[in-house]
């Protein structure tokens, strides 16, 4: 494929690069590297990935700018007017400006509630992935690198967690937390409890993946060499082994981000997640579900659509990433 000349260039960095380098600040050089990478090329040539990323960016942007762009703060009870309740969406004859997607039974603007709700859903999803990722990577590295009894303990713990359905563990944790905390504290801590409840059953997957690679890497010569010159164990794990198993982890983390948002929504829908005064998308759907048979369809349909769009775009990115990083499919 490559001509001998270019191969030579790759082996010995040509002088131009050196002369060019100082002109570009380090940041931009990294950007340029990214621009020329295979991954970026694959991204550009996959319309579904570009579409999904754009959609997700739009959702995230509107969600985090919600206080600036929404006509109403849905948490502020003073801004709710009961005579503005049950207004249908704007394209309906009875629709009213500025309630683009209508209002619920308490006069809360649906669009504002959705944007604020998306913010909560995104934050909880992201934080739980981050928590599961850090715990999973740490335990997986330790298990794979040291082996022996510590490996046994960690992996058996994982086996037990995997022997119970994901959603069941999450429900149990939120239920126990709700039962053992005083009423006032329960609502304040709802988000951290959810993050924890979703992270507990999901760290196992990362730990297993990393452990498998760590076991292989730990036997390789470069790790042996590092050990010989007395590099500290944690340093070998973090700087030498971890970077070598990041690819499958990245794919898993992306797909789990979608799963985490879904799980949060499911828990909130079941009534063990976010309370109604700080609703996530799941809570909004739970509230709307009560009016399903009374013809107020917009209260439940629009939050559902938003939730599906978020999860769909995350999954599409995850799917693309899995194919793009899979060396077999290149």
Partner 1 sequence: MIAFLLKRATNAAFVMLAVALLAFVIFRFFGDPVEMMVNEQATQADRAELRERLGLNDGLITQYGRFVTHAVQGDFGISYRNQQDVMVLIKERFPATFELVLVATVISLVVGIPLGVITAVYRNSRLANALQLGSIVGVSLPSFVVGILLILGFSVTLGWLPGFGRGETVDIGWWSTGFLTPSGRAALILPSISLSTFQVTLVMRLVRAEMLETLRADYIKFARARGVPTARVQWRHALRNCLMPVITLTGMQIGNLIAFALVTETVFQWPGMGMLFIQAVTFVDIPVMAAYLMIVSFIFVALNTLVDITYAWVDPRLRDDTARTGGGNG
Which residue in the block uniquely carries the two structure tokens 């997957």? 205
User: In terms of CB distance, is 74 or 303 closer to partner 1?
Assistant: 303
- Per-residue binding string, partner 1, 14-53, x by CB under 8 A, is ----------------------------------x-----
The verdict on 284 binding partner 1 (CB under 8 A) reads: no
- Rounded Cα distance between 181 and 189, Å, is 9
User: In terms of CB distance, is 100 or 172 closer to partner 1?
Assistant: 172
The verdict on 269 binding partner 1 (CB under 8 A) reads: yes
Binder among 101, 138, 272, 287 for partner 1 (CB under 8 A): 272
> How many residues line the site for partner 1 (CB under 8 A)?
47
| Shortest distance (Å) from residue 12 CB to partner 1 | 41
Phi and psi at residue 157, in whole multiples of 5°? -60, -45
- Per-residue binding string, partner 1, 82-121, x by CB under 8 A, is ----------------------------------------
Cβ-Cβ contacts under 8 Å for 17 (sequence gap 6 or more)? none
Query: By C-alpha distance, which of 122, 77, 113 is closest to 299?
Result: 113
Rg over alpha carbons for the chain, rounded to the nearest Å, is 25
Contact 223, 246 (CB under 8 A): no
How far from chain centre, in Å, is Cα 54?
16
What six digits make up the tokens of 217? Answer: 């890497």
Binder among 144, 258, 273, 279 for partner 1 (CB under 8 A): 258
Query: By C-alpha distance, which of 316, 271, 266, 315 is closest to 290?
Result: 271
The verdict on 247 binding partner 1 (CB under 8 A) reads: no
The verdict on 257 binding partner 1 (CB under 8 A) reads: no
The verdict on 291 binding partner 1 (CB under 8 A) reads: no
Query: By C-alpha distance, which of 261, 286, 278 is closest to 187?
Result: 278
User: In terms of CB distance, is 71 or 165 closer to partner 1?
Assistant: 165
Query: By C-alpha distance, which of 266, 302, 312, 310 is closest to 114?
Result: 302
| Binding footprint of partner 1 on the chain (CB under 8 A) | 48, 156, 159-160, 162-168, 171-172, 175-176, 178-180, 204-205, 208, 212, 258, 262, 265-266, 269-272, 285, 289, 292-293, 295, 297, 300-301, 304, 307-308, 311-312, 314-316, 319
């Amino acid at each position: 494929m490559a001509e001998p000349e270019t191969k030579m260039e790759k082996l010995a960095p040509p002088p131009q690069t050196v002369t060019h380098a100082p002109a570009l600040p380090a940041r931009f050089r990294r950007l340029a590297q990214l621009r020329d990478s295979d991954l970026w090329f694959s991204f550009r040539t996959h319309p579904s990935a570009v579409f999904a990323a754009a959609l997700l960016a739009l959702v995230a942007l509107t969600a985090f700018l919600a206080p600036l762009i929404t006509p109403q703060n849905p948490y502020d009870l003073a801004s709710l007017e009961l005579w503005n309740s049950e207004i249908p969406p704007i394209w309906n004859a009875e629709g009213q400006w500025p309630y683009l997607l209508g209002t619920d039974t308490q006069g809360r603007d649906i669009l504002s509630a959705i944007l604020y709700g998306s913010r909560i859903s995104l934050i909880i999803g992201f934080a739980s992935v981050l928590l599961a990722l850090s715990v999973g990577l740490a335990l997986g590295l330790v298990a794979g690198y040291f082996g022996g009894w510590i490996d046994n303990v960690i992996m058996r713990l994982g086996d037990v967690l995997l022997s119970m359905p994901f959603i069941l563990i999450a429900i149990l944790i939120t239920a126990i937390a709700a039962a053992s905390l005083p009423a006032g504290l329960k609502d304040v801590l709802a988000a951290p409890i959810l993050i924890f409840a979703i992270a507990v059953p999901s760290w196992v997957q990362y730990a297993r993946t990393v452990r498998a690679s760590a076991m292989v890497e730990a036997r390789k010569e470069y790790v042996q060499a590092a050990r010989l010159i007395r590099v500290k164990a944690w340093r070998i794990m973090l700087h030498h082994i971890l970077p070598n198993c990041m690819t499958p982890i990245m794919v898993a983390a992306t797909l789990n981000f979608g799963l985490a948002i879904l799980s949060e929504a499911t828990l909130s829908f079941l009534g063990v997640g976010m309370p109604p005064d700080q609703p996530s998308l799941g809570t909004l759907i739970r509230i709307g579900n009560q009016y399903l048979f009374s013809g107020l369809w917009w209260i439940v349909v629009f939050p559902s659509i938003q939730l599906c769009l978020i999860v769909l775009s995350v999954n599409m990115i995850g799917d693309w990433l899995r194919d793009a990083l899979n060396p077999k499919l290149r």
